Structure 1
């Protein structure tokens, strides 16, 4: 049975799916203390301004400052900069913090995880935003790689299985380096994948589908 949202303290369905996809990739949700509300945050490289503005516009109702340009040095001739988006700390993001983080009581830190119910919440929107966040098109082998290096092999395998079972896209689990694993979607799956996720893509990110 598909997981159905019935809690008024979660995002509307379209933003819920988008946030799940981004959170599987480069997104983060922070709490300043175990009892505080949570905020969603994501950073973008300097060549991702269009995608940054796209995400910022989607979540504009939850942010006071929107997309901000962040400088990493003071060199006026060769400035290094990127973009950052933060929401306010709000109760609505507590649900997603609980979904994506497990507390390590020994270190008093939170570790980001693949949600245990990923098979119930995976869909084409989620996959599209995961690829836009952490995907890469390997032109030499006509495949897509998704850099899930921060997750355990068990979590990456579970994520691959959720894409396979929900979207009928075969996804391989490939050892990358050390104890790190990534997802791969091969050339034979590309047409099917593109048909599923392209409608959800921001146009500047289509290159991650090899388009």
Structure 2
């Protein structure tokens, strides 16, 4: 979410760097195309990861600046820092969880990691509580090599998770669920 000034409307900027996720990118774009300018064409570019010095192909889209996006900017960002709102328990649905997993989830053994690198430990705790209490998904916090947090979903909760989110997954992303 981007807002140029405090009085401007917000817009969504969405990007994928994995060429193998083009179908997913197109799926997400299909929801937001009505909010893009007429005859909108996604932008392709080459990006360099400064941490690894590797280059990647990236594809992105940007919506128009519209009042309907302000609620997301206001609830999920403090200035330009991502945050988890206090009412995430009420907001997170099986469909929302599916999109979160398609974006930030990855198989890890018989379980799954969800990247939550941009969030504070307090925000990660809110997310974990919601997964555990609302969806009965057993999880814990793991840290990657760079000491960044990830939520780990235990093997014994994977069937529960699959049953919850599979109806919303596109076939190209089912591998993240081990399917």
Secondary structure of the structure 2 residue equivalent to 1:194: helix
RMSD: 1.8
8 A Cα contact 1:56 1:66, kept in partner:
no
8 A Cα contact 1:53 1:67, kept in partner:
no
Between the aligned partners of 2:16 and 2:56, the Cα distance in structure 1 is 12
Secondary structure of the structure 2 residue equivalent to 1:34: coil
2:126 corresponds to 1:154? no
Residue in 1 that maps onto 2:51: none
2:95 corresponds to 1:120? no
Residue in 1 that maps onto 2:110: 142
Could you list the runs of 5+ residues in structure 2 that have no partner in the other structure?
Answer: 49-54
- How far the C-alpha of 1:179 sits from its partner, in A, is 5.1
Q: Deviation digits for residues 29-86 of structure 1, max 9, x if unmatched?
A: 001111100001111122211111101111111012253333449xxxxx95221021
Residue in 2 that maps onto 1:69: 44
Q: What is the TM-score normalised by the length of structure 1?
A: 0.75
2:11 corresponds to 1:36? no
CA gap of 1:80–1:171, structure 2 versus 1, over 3 A, is closer
2:89 corresponds to 1:85? no
Matched residue pairs, number? 170
Q: What is the TM-score normalised by the length of structure 2?
A: 0.88
Between the aligned partners of 2:162 and 2:86, the Cα distance in structure 1 is 27
- How far the C-alpha of 1:194 sits from its partner, in A, is 0.5
